Structure 1
Amino acid sequence: MFDPVIAPSGTLLGLLQRGRGDGTLHALTAPRSEALAALNHCVTHDPRHDWQVENRSLYYARLYLDLHGELDAVEAHLFDPEDVLDTDESRTGLALAVLGHLASYGRRDALDLLRRYAAHGTNWAWALDELALRDDDAGLRALAAPVLARFTTDAEGEAELAATVRDAFEPRPWRLWADDPRESVATRVRAAQEAGSFDRWQRQMRPTGPRPGWSVQAVFEWAQQGVERGAALHVPAARCLTAVAGPEDRPEIVRAAQDGTEGARCTALRYLADSNDPDALDLIEGAVTTGSTAVVEAAVDAFERMRSLAAVDRARGWAR
């Protein structure tokens, strides 16, 4: 997702994009068509820099209520052909969340839009979560067939369905469908629930994390596997080193901090900093100079945790 283009803060659009309280006042005093145009732009072009930590949906939903705003622009956005091409949930997440709030306030048109999108839209799971909190049993039962039709009946499709049921944010629709009077629906959902529960049990019985019997090299390899999967594991890996590493392992850890793989280097730097190793400061300084972005960030984080006088003196030297 590209960074949003934010209008100047003195404009109505800029105020609404920033979620300012006085934005509501300006919208209510502006011409209604202008206010609705700005509101629709915000909802269909998410202005948040990080949509996962900024909550703006209730703010916009209340403004729709105050302006008695129609949802034509939101509908056009949800069912635009782009919905098939851009499957990132951030494209439609804000609009769906706004519709969810509007449905809670009794807007039937918002509820109908959510139902249609759950049946036909790409980001259907988000819409289903919104409906799970707002729709009645009859409305949810009507969605069972179109939702299940998204999953093929072969082994791959059933596995995908089981994973979806297992990871569902709101389980209500799936529990309702498991008791559906239509045998074809209930049987398939119950099988998916059982498969998901079994998979969760298997993962609990076979933890993938390090064990006390691991070697230092095994911990480094585990940290590198996290890097390859896009998960930063050097912090827990450093804690594992505390359990498995002895004095005889220090040379190996120092070598890893100097020129190991990205995961090993981050782990070693964190471990050496936490243990106040005499070479930690030199290794951190070298990592900042020669390391990758992830290594540099790990080195800086490790240094910030150090509380020794030597660390303070080194910081003063860097500041000169």
Structure 2
Amino acid sequence: MNHSPDKPVVALTLGDPAGIGPELIARLLSRCDLMAQANVVLVGDAWLWEEGQRVAGLLTPTVPIASLAAVRRRADPATPAFVGVDTVQPQQVHRGRADAAGGASVLAVLDRCMDAALAHEIDAICFAPLNKHAMKQGGLRHEDELHHFAAHLGVTGYFCEFNTLHGLWTSRISSHVPLKDVPKYLDKQRVVDAATLIYRSLQADGVATPRVAVAGFNPHNGDGGTCGREEIDIIEPAVRELNARGLPVVGPFPADTIFLKARDGELDAIVTMYHDQGQIAIKLMGFSQGVTVQGGLPIPITTPAHGTAYDIAGLGKANVDATANAFAIACRMGHAYRDGQSLFGQPQ
């Protein structure tokens, strides 16, 4: 396949040095069909990239390049570019273990990519799995990587994490917070913002009129108020407001049956009220295929929904499917971003 000048520039990272990320990226870059979708640049430590190829049993050619600023000017982007950085030494990495050195490495590489995004040098980022505990040991000051991205990129509007699987997207009103705190996050405006954000994001991914539904909060959708009034007082008014704004969002539907509609192909997206309400269902439907999209940022950022899989790191067993899916979404949304579409309501 031939590359063309209008291909989006997509930055890839190797993820946690102690996990399966380097192996996954080696497998991904060996897929010529996928690489043809973008002007790809890999950012990471040279020794770690070599180690990833060794574990995968693949030798994937890359073209060394001085900086991310030079990627867009490449005359022939058919071969992925490689920007080498020095963030961690081999002796600091203990395979299969969350360490501060590995977490600091992840932060340094991602920050470099985000700086390039702010300078309009790249159009999307796809990162290999990271470990939040390692990142917090290594200097992460936020509850998760999404909040770190938002702070670094200067986001002031609503943002949230999406999980996707085979064309189904989910978002949530609350994310990485204790379950006892979830009711504090449940208000009408957050439901409106979450549904609007996932609707616009699906449009950026190529779905012209997304079919979006909202899940209830209480068992049996509150049973008319006898089992909780959040559906009556918060969620239903939010759906009415969304409809008044011209968004064909439906719901709320009981959380224990809404995913049956999704399974049967009736929905493109579900807005859930808290982390496990959607995550359990979507991971059960296809754990090795899912993708996380960092919603509400000014640039597309994606990653496989699974973790670092420390237990199989270095064994050459990692499944690249979710990473390939994450890369494909980054390419599609990066194309929209490159074409001047303002993603997720954030200015470019």
| TM-score of the aligned structures, taking structure 1 as reference length | 0.29
Higher strand share: 2
Q: Which has the higher contact order (CA 8 A, sep 6+)?
A: 2
* The structure with more helix, counted as a fraction of residues: 1
For normalisation by structure 2, the TM-score amounts to: 0.27
